[in-house]
Amino acid sequence: MAEAPKQQMPARRKARRRALEVLFEADLRDQPPVEVLAGYLERIEKPHPEHLGYAVRLVEGVAAHLDRIDELIGSYAEGWTLDRMPVVDRNLARIAVYELLYVDEVDDPVAITEAVELAKQLSTDESPRFLNGILDRIAEYTTR
C-alpha cells in the first residue's frame, strides 16, 4: 500500500475530532455550528494545521444539511430520539452521515469506522456498537 493513505488517515481523524469539538459546543450552547466554528478558528494558533480545512468542511457541511442528516439518524436510531442520544454520539453520527451522503472521496466503511473509533475514545462503552448499527443501516439505505 502507498504511504499517502497512511498519512491521510491520522489527519482526517484529527479533522473529524476537531469538527466534533465544534459541533459538540454548538449543540450544548444551542448555537449555529458555523458561528461556533468562527470563534473556534480565532482561538487556534497560526499557522493552522493542514487538516483544519477538512474539519471546516465537515462542520459547514453538517450545518448546511443538518435537517436531512438528523432526519436520517432519527429514522434509523431504533428506539432512540436524537434528544436522548449522548451529545458526542449524536454529533459523531452527524459527521459520519454527512460523509456517507456528501463526501465521495471517503468510502462508506471508512466513515463508519472513523465514527466508531472516535466513539471508543470519547463516549460510552455502548456507543461504538450503537453508532455502528445506525450508520450501517443508513449506509445500506443510501447505496440503494
Give the type of residue at 30.
D
Dist CA 84 CA 71 (whole Å): 15
- Please state at what angle helix 3-29 crosses helix 33-43, rounded to 10 degrees: 120
- CATH at 68: 1.10.940.10
pLDDT tens column, 11-27: 899 999 999 999 999 99
Dist CA 111 CA 9 (whole Å): 11
Q: What is the pLDDT of residue 144?
A: 59
DSSP string, 58-123: HHHHHHHTHHHHHHHHHHHSTT--GGGS-HHHHHHHHHHHHHHHH-TTS-HHHHHHHHHHHHHHHS
pLDDT tens column, 90-134: 999 999 999 999 999 999 999 999 999 999 999 999 999 999 999
- CB-CB neighbours of 142 under 10 Å: 12
- By three-state DSSP, how is residue 144 classified? coil
pLDDT tens column, 46-95: 888 889 999 999 999 999 999 999 999 999 998 889 999 999 999 999 99
Q: Look at the chain and report how many structural domains it folds into.
A: 1
Phi-psi domain of 92 (left: phi exceeds 0; alpha: psi -120 through 50; beta: other): alpha
Q: What is the residue range of 110's domain? A: 3-142
- By three-state DSSP, how is residue 45 classified? coil
